[in-house]
Amino acid sequence: MKTWPFGSVLVANRGEIAVRILRGIKACGLESVVVYHAADRKSPAVALADRTVEITGNTPVAAYLDMAQILDAARATGAGAIHPGYGFLSENTDFARAVEATGLVFVGPTAEQIELMGDKVRARAFVERGGFPVAPSAIEDDDPASFVERARAVGAPLLIKPAAGGGGKGMRIVRDMARLEEEIERARSEGQRYFGDGRLYAERYVENPRHIEVQVLGDAYGNVVHLFERECSVQRRFQKVIEESPSPALDDARRRAICAAAAGIARTAHYRNAGTVEFIYGAGGEFYFLEMNTRLQVEHPVTEAITGMDIVREQLRIAAGEPLGYAQDDIHTHGHAIEFRIYAEDAARGFIPTTGPVLALHHPRGEGVRVDSGISPGQEVTPAFDPMLAKLIVHAASREAAIERADRALGEYVLLGCQTNTAFLRRLIHNPAFTAGDIHTGFLDANPQLAAEPELAADTRTRLLAAGCLLSRPIRDVVDATPDLHAALGGWRN
């Protein structure tokens, strides 16, 4: 656009998404500002931003959740807009309202839209009233006294979810209805602990469904488009590990149906800015609304790769009051893209987070390879934040070619000092079921062997141990030391 109503944008986030947004801001010719906690002082985001403001808190996470500090930073730097990224305050209605009340532009949907879709019960009811598909369910708010019996009537298997939930927290799958009340109380307790809200709802659980989501964009003038779907079925603990587009499960007719439903939901909500409508997809081709995320998604680069669109730029344009300027028929896809989340975790030990210094870091390069990273050498990977360190995105003409490119790129990714999941990801993409596209949300649970480290051959283990010993400091000191007899010779030469 020719002129922007704001000249500077503050990024209220950290890690790889802060870097991604900062690059988008710079590409638009705008000044970039980022807030940071001391734990992120050496991060790439701090190095990249035009201006930086340190924020403090009892914990690093608390600093990034401190609305007052972030708004003060925006005022102090003269920022005219705030981009929240994902996580932290990105779907906080109070923050969105506070940004607008301060006279700044919130790069995202309206507070009312965040509020509507953030409450899973309200969102589900809204979608159902609009005539879009939802799974059979029981909602506690409708009649708390009869909730247990109404949930029992939906039948097993049953999925119990917190009304204010997200990220898989508090979700319980009930297959034995004799345990229904026990699981309801557990879900309520977890919902209260994670979200400060113990309200629940229960819906029919689709066994081994796929998780398919659709990227949507809407402007302030009622224009809404979709940017096609992403398959996000490979998950551990309800958290995504691999995302790809197009989905290997969908034919053209089903793709049109699910994308049209997503765009219809966004249009009915008069949705503005970028959002994602998520569905569960059954083996018979049936699909049901799951939730809508009113923010930029972690996996947005997959969509950028196949459409050629810069979603962060579109977010900024929409926030600046620009119309979309294109219609659904103007959006096309090319090839296949896959994103891999690089986590600091030990897959063989139940995907537990790992920590350590970033001693060395090498990102793969080449045609069709993109890395969005939030770390640099000299940083420390700590338990203070989510264990995702980076995202590796590959794009090729076909899914087969993308998998082949991913295998090479994952093999070239090097991080010394902290264990990551790259070896696990390589094992995963070589699995015949994954290669065939036969995946679902229970895929990793059904294939636990993928998480296990393969046994090393005895001679390989011996060589590695020998190399490790020879490189250790005590051994090197002995090897490099001059024996006393030789040292006593002084400068004598024969």
Looking up residue 438, the CATH number of its domain turns out to be: 3.30.470.20
- Render the burial of 442-455: b for 16+ CB within 10 Å, e for the rest: ebbeeeeebbeeee
Residues 70 and 157 in one domain: no
Inside any domain, residue 474: no
Looking up residue 71, the CATH number of its domain turns out to be: 3.40.50.20
- pLDDT for the residue 381: 97
pLDDT above 90 (res 213): yes
Q: What are phi and psi of 119, to 5 degrees?
A: -90, 110
Distance CA 342, CA 424 (A): 10
Residues 196 and 216 in one domain: no
Average pLDDT over residues 199-223: 94
Residues 18 and 47 in one domain: yes
Instruction: Count Cα neighbours of 331 within 13 Å in the Cβ-side half-sphere.
Output: 23
Tell me the per-residue pLDDT of 252-275, one tens digit each, with 9 for 90 and over. 999 999 999 999 999 999 999 999
Average pLDDT over residues 139-150: 90
Burial class (CB in 10 A: 0-12, 13-18, 19+), 352: exposed
pLDDT above 60 (res 494): no
Average pLDDT over residues 401-418: 98
* E strand or H helix that includes residue 338: strand 336-343
- pLDDT for the residue 461: 82
Distance CA 175, CA 58 (A): 41
Residues 92 and 198 in one domain: no
Residues 303 and 174 in one domain: no
- pLDDT for the residue 486: 61
Among candidate residues 204, 233, 249, the one where a domain is terminated:
204
Quote the distance between the C-alpha of residue 126 and its chain's center.
25
Cα R_g (the chain), whole angstroms: 25
Tell me the per-residue pLDDT of 85-131, one tens digit each, with 9 for 90 and over. 999 999 999 999 999 999 999 999 999 999 999 988 899 999 999 99
Residues 250 and 296 in one domain: yes
- pLDDT for the residue 479: 67
Among candidate residues 204, 220, 252, the one where a domain is terminated:
204
Inside any domain, residue 480: no
Percent of the chain with pLDDT over 90: 82
Inside any domain, residue 26: yes
Q: Which residues contact 484 (CB under 8 A, 6 or more apart)?
A: none
Inside any domain, residue 179: yes
Looking up residue 183, the CATH number of its domain turns out to be: 3.30.1490.20
Q: What are phi and psi of 435, to 5 degrees?
A: -60, -35
Is the CB of residue 324 less than 8 Å from the CB of residue 223?
A: yes
Inside any domain, residue 487: no
- pLDDT for the residue 485: 63
Q: What are phi and psi of 71, to 5 degrees?
A: -65, -40
Give, rounded to a whole angstrom, the gap between the first and last alpha carbons of the chain: 81
- Render the burial of 108-121: b for 16+ CB within 10 Å, e for the rest: bbbbebbbbbbbbb
Q: Which domain holds residue 26?
A: 8-107
- pLDDT for the residue 167: 63
Residues 433 and 417 in one domain: yes
- pLDDT for the residue 11: 98
Residues 398 and 431 in one domain: yes
* E strand or H helix that includes residue 369: strand 369-373
Inside any domain, residue 367: yes
Among candidate residues 150, 174, 204, the one where a domain is terminated:
204
pLDDT above 80 (res 2): no
Residues 323 and 238 in one domain: yes
Residues 245/276/301/51 CA torsion (nearest 10 deg): 180
Supply the pTM of this predicted model.
0.89
Inside any domain, residue 458: no
Tell me the per-residue pLDDT of 274-310, one tens digit each, with 9 for 90 and over. 999 999 999 999 999 999 999 999 999 999 999 999 9
Residues 74 and 92 in one domain: yes
Residues 186 and 222 in one domain: no
* pLDDT class of 484 with cuts at 50, 70, 90: low
Domains: count for the chain: 3
Distance CA 357, CA 202 (A): 43
- pLDDT for the residue 489: 61
Tell me the per-residue pLDDT of 422-461, one tens digit each, with 9 for 90 and over. 999 999 999 999 999 999 999 999 999 999 988 878 888 8
Residues 189 and 309 in one domain: no
- pLDDT for the residue 126: 96
